[in-house]
Amino acid sequence: MAEDFSKAVDDGLKLSKRIYFGKDRAVAPPKPPPPMARSAKAFLPSASMIYAVICDPGIVDNPDIPSYQPHVHGRCDPPALIPLQMTAIQMEVDCHHETAFVTVSGTWRLHCIKASRSCDCRVAIPMGRQGSILGVEVGVPRKSYSTELVVMEDDKGNQNFAPPQNGGFLTPNIFTLTIPQIDGGSNLSIKIRWYQKIVYSNGLFSLNVPFNFPDFVNPAGKKIPKREKIRINLDAVTGGELLCKTISHPMKQVSRHAGSTAFLYESDVLSWSKVDFSFSYAVSSSHMTGGVVLESASGHDLDQREMFYMYLSPGDIQCEKVFKKEIIFIIDISGSMLGKLIEDTKYAVLAALSKLNRDDSFNIIAFNGETYLFSKSMELASEDAVKRATEWINLNFVAGGGTNISRPLNTAIEMLSNAENSVPIIFLVTDGTVEDERQICAMVKNRMINGESICPRIYTFGIGLFCNHYFLRTLAMFGRGQYDSAMDVDSIEPRMLSLFDKASSLILANIKVDSLDNLGELEVYPTRIPDLSSEGPLILSGRYRGNFPKTLKVEGILADFSNFVVDMKIQNAKDMPVQRVSARDQIHHLTAQAWFLENKQLEQKVAKLSLQTGFISEYTRMVLLETDHIKKVKESAGTKASEKSNGQFEAPVQGQRMILLPHLGIGFGNLTATAENTPPGYESKLPEVPEIFKAATNCCETLCSYCCCMCCIQCCARLNNQCATALTQLCIGLGCFGCISCCSEVCCSGNEG
């Protein structure tokens, strides 16, 4: 899909050369990059953009200055995408600890369509790390559009819903939305909101927001003003001193308080920003710190229990304070891992092995329908052992066969059951779904007894959409580990290594929170507390009834197996919206619980939380609400007239319709695709019309059974001049043969007469 989108933009840029911008020599059609510099995804959006969807190339022209160019015959199939010119842009980012809420507002002009014609416009929104779309609002002349979430059961049989339109995720971090039929020359005002994670690494919190606009979105003309505005509001929550490290745009500080600050950038520019907005900062602390932020439920909250957000930060921890590890890599080598998937996974495992300390131990289990062990026992991570492991990986990491997760997982748990003076870790990587996932989770839950000793930690990594990510999340939660995923092939190696860095840098284990047992109706997410890593803070959230304790302590075990206690700082929420900040993680944890327990009440709870906070879920759908303001005014006036004549009130028709968007959830895996070893991202495509013609054995019957008239027209529109000439000559020849046959029949009948 991403390559098709990029190709459509390339076609649109070529088509936009038809647009006449006037006699000003400084104004020229957009210039795409040279062919040698392009890649298959060269034209994917690197900032929020809007495209005109062109099916009929004849409508492409300047709405202000017609060029009267020759008419273009045929249609664009698939449609071309012409990037619209942007006339204003501003962005505001609200950062709370490790989460960021981004709001982008801008104005674009449909500069490439005749004033008398209209076309669809496609909005493309690239988001940062683990981005989640929260809402889109579009204003055009006479109409407005906004996204909303609805419960999936509510959309069945609803007559106000239009069929699903083009939209959804183009890539895991690029959301698209189609706005129907906008008149040429119109201005589109758009407001976009999304959520994304702030990355923590090496003691720095780093934010990166896509804000790199290509040259061809700059409006044509020298006198058109262009003004950029960016504001970032930073709330570190911890209360420590904020140290700004790097920043991409020249910003000035406009406010500063304890633990919070704000920066502003505003400037008139000759061309729009050519770099992403990036910002990194540190919170000074030489030791582990923690705190709790409390917030009361609002009046419209469906759950009136109090809320809390608990964090534990690693501080400046030295390498020697990290736990010694005994780690087993369980790697899926089934047939669906063929090609780049198995190669990138191999490179990630080899890189992880090179990062092990000499006193760490490791083993490797490759699995498909069978199980393959590197060694019958744990191996010290010596130079010789890593070299032998590399040779074994190159020999055995060959994609093929089915998927059986239970057997290698049981083997790994048995091998790590006697671990001493170290943290036993299982690192599972898979791209498939198996039938006994709930039984596997139940087995792990029963075996992971929370005692004084450290039970095996389970870290899970899912690849693509065919594996059940909620199974992997549940497995990691029961194993007191963490979960991550790579929805696209290009991110496998960096995301897998990022998860490994968290698993290999544990500094506090067997974490317990005292004094919470006295609270009523307590819920904590995740339900089993994972270990604290030097590669990121530990976050817990939940709800409760009663009075939260005035003092709170968190206990755990350090790398030398001595006990450690952290006094938590308790404060009431001021600028931090606790529910919004914790909602996405809570939705994921609750969805995993609902899947594991097969609990309909939990599914309904997830749906309600999704509707209330705006985060998408597996049990809600996003719709595009279209409001026709002219029709709405007319219908409202008609309703008032009917009220006077009949003396009875009738519910007014609001002049609205809902356009149902494709389901945006990741689903619960695909058993069929796993059984058939279908690679992640594979999409079956119907043969194109020319292939159907080639495959025809009986010309008339096959053509009629496969193609309608429009299909034939589209097929003929794709033929070049030489092919069209040859086909015409063939038809004339067949016609001649038909005439000869008819003449013969006439002659024969005349002779008989």
Position 690 scores a pLDDT of: 38
Position 162 scores a pLDDT of: 53
**pLDDT(645) > 50:** no
pLDDT in tens, 676-687: 888 886 654 434
Position 321 scores a pLDDT of: 85
What are residue 199's phi and psi, to 5 degrees?
-80, 135
Domain interval for residue 37: 1-282+619-631+653-669
Name the residue with higher pLDDT: 285 or 90.
Answer: 90
Name the DSSP class of 536. Answer: B
Determine how β-strand 161-162 pairs with β-strand 656-660: parallel
Task: Give residue 746's region: left, alpha or beta (phi > 0; psi -120 to 50).
Answer: alpha
Query: CB neighbours (10 Å) of residue 647?
Result: 7
HSE (side-chain half, CA atoms, 13 Å) at 443: 14
**One domain for residues 353 and 490:** yes
Print burial letters for 529-566: b (CB count within 10 Å at least 16), e (below 16).
bbbbbbbbbbbbbbbbeeebeeebebebbebeeeebeb
Position 695 scores a pLDDT of: 36
**One domain for residues 229 and 121:** yes
Stretch among 81-90, 179-188, 320-329, 694-703 having the lowest mean pLDDT: 694-703
**One domain for residues 48 and 104:** yes
Name the residue with higher pLDDT: 421 or 555.
Answer: 555
Distance CA 681, CA 690 (A): 25
Tell me if 683 is assigned to some domain. no
Q: In the chain, what is the straight-line distance between the N-terminal and C-terminal CA atoms, in Å?
A: 67
**One domain for residues 340 and 242:** no
Cβ atoms of residues 344 and 377 within 8 Å: no
Position 285 scores a pLDDT of: 72
Q: How confident is the model at residue 719 (pLDDT cuts 50, 70, 90)?
A: low
Q: How much is the CA Rg of the chain, to the nearest whole Å?
A: 31
Determine whether 444 is exposed, middle or buried from the number of CB atoms within 10 Å of its CB (0-12, 13-18, 19+).
buried
Q: Given strand 49-54, what is the order of strands in its sheet?
A: 80-83, 49-54, 118-126, 174-183, 167-171
**One domain for residues 235 and 352:** no
Q: What's the domain count of the chain?
A: 3
Position 66 scores a pLDDT of: 79
Tell me if 723 is assigned to some domain. no
Distance CA 553, CA 530 (A): 16
- 222: its two tokens: 């020298």
| Residues constituting the chain | 753
Region 379-403: mean pLDDT is 94
Tell me if 730 is assigned to some domain. no
Cβ atoms of residues 270 and 87 within 8 Å: no
Tell me if 409 is assigned to some domain. yes
Q: Which amino acid is at 212?
A: N
Tell me if 2 is assigned to some domain. yes
Position 488 scores a pLDDT of: 87
State the DSSP H helix or E strand holding residue 625, giving kind and residue range, or none if neither.
Answer: strand 620-628
Name the residue with higher pLDDT: 164 or 439.
Answer: 439
Position 733 scores a pLDDT of: 63
pLDDT in tens, 5-59: 999 999 999 888 888 776 654 455 555 556 545 566 788 999 999 999 999 988 9
Q: What Å distances lie between residue 638 and 626, 630, 655, 673, CA to CA?
A: 20, 12, 12, 54
**One domain for residues 624 and 612:** no
Position 747 scores a pLDDT of: 46
pLDDT in tens, 418-434: 888 899 999 999 999 99
Task: Give residue 142's region: left, alpha or beta (phi > 0; psi -120 to 50).
Answer: left
Q: Given strand 538-545, what is the order of strands in its sheet?
A: 520-525, 538-545, 306-313, 289-295, 563-572, 552-557, 506-513, 532-533
Position 681 scores a pLDDT of: 67
Position 651 scores a pLDDT of: 37
Tell me if 445 is assigned to some domain. yes
**One domain for residues 456 and 332:** yes
Position 642 scores a pLDDT of: 43
pTM of the complete model: 0.85
- 567: its two tokens: 């006094």
DSSP output for 399-441? --S----HHHHHHHHHHTTT--SSEEEEEEEES---TTHHHHH
Tell me if 93 is assigned to some domain. yes
Distance CA 56, CA 154 (A): 36
The CATH number linked to 368 is 3.40.50.410
Q: How confident is the model at residue 601 (pLDDT cuts 50, 70, 90)?
A: very high
- 352: its two tokens: 């992880």
Tell me if 151 is assigned to some domain. yes
Alpha helices in 250-354, H assignment, sequence order: 340-354
pLDDT in tens, 439-487: 999 999 988 765 446 889 999 999 999 999 999 999 999 999 999 999 9
**One domain for residues 248 and 218:** yes
**One domain for residues 611 and 658:** no
**pLDDT(136) > 90:** yes
- Shortest CA distance to 552 belongs to which of 516, 584, 603? 516
Stretch among 149-158, 236-245, 654-663 having the lowest mean pLDDT: 149-158
**One domain for residues 594 and 624:** no
**pLDDT(241) > 80:** no
Position 356 scores a pLDDT of: 94
SS3 state at 640: helix
Position 414 scores a pLDDT of: 92
Cβ atoms of residues 167 and 231 within 8 Å: no
Distance CA 751, CA 753 (A): 5
Position 688 scores a pLDDT of: 40
**One domain for residues 105 and 252:** yes
Region 591-599: mean pLDDT is 96
pLDDT in tens, 301-350: 888 999 999 999 887 755 458 999 999 999 999 999 999 999 999 999 99
Preceding omega of 30 cis (within 30 degrees of 0): no
Q: How confident is the model at residue 731 (pLDDT cuts 50, 70, 90)?
A: low
Determine how β-strand 118-126 pairs with β-strand 49-54: antiparallel
**One domain for residues 626 and 608:** no
Distance CA 184, CA 112 (A): 7
